[in-house]
Amino acid sequence: MNSKQIRAGAAAMTGVLLLGACGGGGPGGSGGDFTDGKLVLAILNDQSGIYKDASGPNSVKAVRMAVADYKEKYGDKAVVDDIEVTSTDHQNKPDIANTKAKELYERGGADVILDVPTSSAALAVANQAKSHKKLFLDVSAATTELTGGQCNKYTFQWAYNTYMLANGTGTTVTQNGDKKWHIIYPDYQFGQDMAKSFTEAIKGAGGTVQGTIPTPFPNDNFATFLTKAGSTNPDVIGTMQAGGDLINVVKQFNESGLKDKGINLAVGLMLITDIHSLGVDQFAGTMFTDAWYWNMDAESRGWADRFRDETGTRPTFEHAGNYSAALQYLEAVQEAGTDDADAVVGKLENKKINDVFLRNGEVRAKDHLVVHDAYLARVREPSEVKEPWDYEEIVTTIPAAKAFPPAEASACSM
């Protein structure tokens, strides 16, 4: 089998979406500065499991929107005409993510991999990015290890991390009076990092953590863990689950009677799809930290309207984050005039960005953490919801410098 046949097979396997004309290479049309005369963006995420709604297939559509906007902006001045978008399901399993990333870089011709929810999977992809010297723009995984002890030159963390979530929600809830916490968390990298980050934030705000309870991932029965956490009579139980697991936790907490005992529930990571799935009444009044909200201003709403036209639904911050990461990657390629990874990394580092997702954004060169404004949000009461999907009220903006850990605190060494 020759190399063209191998690439064709890999494309078929991952579900290729072609955008733009074949051949190409921008002005002059030679494509001489691009591998095979084209650019390949690969989305690796959960296409069928508990994180499907949070990111999943609609993040592929968000990336396609970024490609379309890039082409519309530059027209015949674009440095590459042939841009290919592929998508693959990693099933939230690090071993599958590792294998798929290797295939995408080696046989799929991927110049960049985007998204990758599930922190253990993202860390596996980061290792593949490092060994292949190809880019990985993480959007949906939150472990601080990606820009900490396991950082590398080719990996960027675009949307959020566990520090951002804990610094907003853990600190605020504790300062508002819920001093005694018990934490339940999914027993893998993300959950472990969340428990650690929240514990540090809670203690820093004058609170105490009475205990931390690991739970299987994924899981559908949390009754035993909630009962155990409630037995210590905390002010609040902090749940670090996400996606489908979070929906199960909230539903079972509301059925448990713990609320009647004066125990509150704090959510570490929540997306608008979680609220929509279970119902706004189930989350009403909950405070949480968000990286972006579709109806927070006119610019966000305008893009969200376009997204709705494409998908039939409103975007999560992960959808908007994938759009932003793809668009800024294309802008860096345009500036570099090549898909050479080292050249593109050089254009991304220290870049200051204001786009539909990133406000006061900056790509830190030291650790490749993308810092930006974050938002403390409250879930509206049902009577406050005036249109479908408008479930959040932005209570306050957390400036980028306060939302993320300082560069000097980073354990990253590239």
Beta-carbon contacts of residue 77 (< 8 Å; ≥ 6 apart): 26, 27
Cα separation, 323 vs 338, in Å, equals 21
How much is the pLDDT for 35? 86
Angle between helices 317-336 and 341-348 (to 10 degrees): 110
User: Quick one: DSSP state of residue 380?
Assistant: P
| pLDDT at residue 33, as a whole number | 86
Give the per-residue pLDDT at 402.
94
Spell out the per-residue pLDDT of the chain, length 414, in tens.
444 444 444 444 444 444 443 334 444 333 458 988 999 999 999 999 999 999 999 999 999 999 999 999 999 999 999 999 999 999 999 999 999 999 999 999 999 999 999 999 999 999 999 999 999 999 999 999 999 999 999 999 999 999 999 999 999 999 999 999 999 999 999 999 999 999 999 999 999 999 999 999 999 999 999 999 999 999 999 999 999 999 999 999 999 999 999 999 999 999 999 999 999 999 999 999 999 999 999 999 999 999 999 999 999 999 999 999 999 999 999 999 999 999 999 999 999 999 999 999 999 999 999 999 999 999 999 999 999 999 999 999 999 999 999 999 999 998
Structural domains in the chain, CATH included, are: 38-160+296-372 (3.40.50.2300), 163-290+375-403 (3.40.50.2300)
Beta-bridged to residue 223, according to DSSP, are none
- Describe the strand order of the beta sheet including 361-363 as a list of residue ranges: 352-353, 361-363, 370-371
Cβ–Cβ < 8 Å for 285, 378: yes
Is pTM, for the whole model, over 0.75? Answer: yes
Burial 109-127, CB ≥16 within 10 A → b, else e: bbbbbbbbbbbbbbbbbbb
Which of 252, 190, 182 has its CA nearest to residue 217?
190
Peptide bond into 218 cis (omega under 30): yes
> In sequence order, what DSSP letters do the residues of 163-191 get, joined into one string?
HHHIIIIIHHHHHTT--EEEEEEESSHHH
The structure tokens 């037995």 sit at 231
